[in-house]
Amino acid sequence: MSKTYRIAVIPGDGIGKETTPEGLRVLDAAARRFGFALKLDHYDWSCETWKRTGAMMPPDGLDRLRDSDSIFLGAVGWPGVPDHVSLWGLLIPIRRGFDQYVNLRPCRLMPGAKTPLAGRTEADIDFYVVRENTEGEYSSSGGRQFEGTDREFVSQLTVFTRTGVDRILKYAFELARTRNRKHVTSATKSNGITFTMPYWDERFAAMAANYPDIGTAQYHIDILCAHFVQHPDWFDVVVGSNLFGDILSDLGPAVAGSIGIAPSANINPERAHPSMFEPVHGSAPDIAGKFICNPIGQIWSGAMMLEHLGEVEAGRAIVTAIETLLREGGPRTRDMGGQASTQDVGRALAEIVAAG
């Protein structure tokens, strides 16, 4: 009997409703070709749900997702709905509730994508950003004192735990092992942040000692951002704390070109809980409803999902199909200089995957 994976599908808002069907179309083609099955549970949780019910998802939302093998998300957010509603009502509870402590973003220049870095080719931009997703600078610990007086005092605590730091570093080194270059770069700022960042560096050195086969480098976040732009070819796997990883995981896809292509994953590596896969882009209200958006970021996120589920060959086949389509002048959406619709691109990719 073939293996069946249970996937929770949350299209969300705006173009998420247009990209997820194309993601599912290509996943279905991969499932048929590689002999596994996907059982889909659809959830219409979105900003519309919030307008109707006062909540982005029902109170038992997390429980409904809990038995899924993965969550396949489109985009969440809409003009007029504040982030503390959309982000904190859906995305953050899922990330935290399921201990998705790795935020993973491949940053790869695809054929035909427009990198803003002059003269750079596909061989120069091919790295992963690994962001710690649960602690660090984004703690909820802190506050204001003496508000409104001239003694006003505001603080926010950065929290690193040994468990939290070690597990993200371990993930980065394990990922590097699967790559040709076998190299990990750490983002730090121990010259200015003198308690937490030296601790991060210490744990990085300790973890590196377990991986003599992996090369390492370490840069302060400021110069690291400059190197992303000037020397993207230096990087293979780049690991950072919640804040530094946040910065790098927007900068990385930006140097790799089109926002419509970039995928991302929120992963619980131990598989104790479902992981979540979503494109880097948002709900793009400016182009929503027209079926002109690029579905590749969603489709590539689906490929990451299959790899996480253990269907590595099927995931790679999808990425190869994306490369083939872009290299061989297949249909492309306007953001990549074409005229094709969202569905045209999805159908073309499904065909390439099916044909093998």
Amino acid at 237: V
Closest by Cα among 306, 302, 298 to 333: 298
Q: Does position 15 bind ligand ATP by CB under 6 A?
A: yes
Which residues within the stretch 63-122 sit at the binding site for ligand ATP (CB under 6 A)? Answer: 77
Instruction: Specify the residue for token string 């705006």.
Output: 14
Q: Which spans in 43-195 are helix H? A: 47-53, 61-65, 83-86, 92-97, 162-177
C-alpha dist (Å) from residue 315 to 260, 300, 301: 19, 8, 9
Tokens encoding 33: 């070709």
Exactly one of 107, 247, 262, 287 binds ligand ATP (CB under 6 A); which one?
Answer: 287
Which residues within the stretch 173-202 sit at the binding site for ligand ATP (CB under 6 A)? Answer: none
Under 8 Å CB-to-CB from 117, ≥6 apart: which residues? 124, 125, 229, 232, 255
**Paired sense of beta strands 142-145 and 153-156, if any:** antiparallel
Q: Does position 12 bind ligand ATP by CB under 6 A?
A: no
Using CB under 6 A, which of the segments 114-122, 127-135, 144-152, 292-300 binds ligand ATP? Answer: 292-300
Q: Does position 260 bind ligand ATP by CB under 6 A?
A: yes
Exactly one of 253, 282, 302, 315 binds Mg ion (CB under 5 A); which one?
Answer: 282
Q: Give Cα 117 to chain centroid, integer Å.
A: 22
Residue 68 C-beta: closest distance to ligand ATP, Å: 23
Using CB under 6 A, which of the segments 143-151, 222-230, 291-299, 323-331 binds ligand ATP? Answer: 291-299
In contact, 31 and 65? CB cutoff 8 Å = no
Q: Point out which residues pair with 265 in neighbouring strands.
A: 104, 277
Q: Does position 203 bind ligand ATP by CB under 6 A?
A: no
Closest by Cα among 70, 39, 73 to 56: 73
Q: Does position 294 bind ligand ATP by CB under 6 A?
A: yes
User: Quick one: 272 exposed, middle or buried, by C-beta within 10 A (0-12, 13-18, 19+)?
Assistant: exposed
Residue nearest to Mg ion (CB): 282
Which residues within the stretch 157-176 sit at the binding site for ligand ATP (CB under 6 A)? Answer: none
Residue nearest to ligand ATP (CB): 282
Q: Does position 239 bind ligand ATP by CB under 6 A?
A: no
Closest by Cα among 192, 226, 176, 98 to 200: 192
Tokens encoding 128: 């992963």
Residue 302 C-beta: closest distance to ligand ATP, Å: 14
Q: Does position 259 bind ligand ATP by CB under 6 A?
A: yes
Q: Does position 297 bind Mg ion by CB under 5 A?
A: no
Using CB under 6 A, which of the segments 46-54, 150-158, 266-274, 277-285 binds ligand ATP? Answer: 277-285
| Distance in angstroms (rounded) separating the CA atoms of residues 343 and 351 | 12
Range 80-104 burial, b when 16+ CB lie within 10 A, else e: ebeeebbbebbbebbbeebbbbbbb
203 or 281: CB nearest ligand ATP: 281
Selection from ligand ATP, Mg ion, none that 260 binds (CB < 5 to 8 A by kind) is ligand ATP
Using CB under 5 A, which of the segments 49-57, 109-117, 263-271, 278-286 binds Mg ion? Answer: 278-286
Residue 281 C-beta: closest distance to ligand ATP, Å: 3
> Which residues make up the interface to ligand ATP (CB under 6 A)?
15, 77, 259-260, 281-284, 286-287, 293-294, 297, 335
* Site residues, Mg ion (CB under 5 A): 77, 282
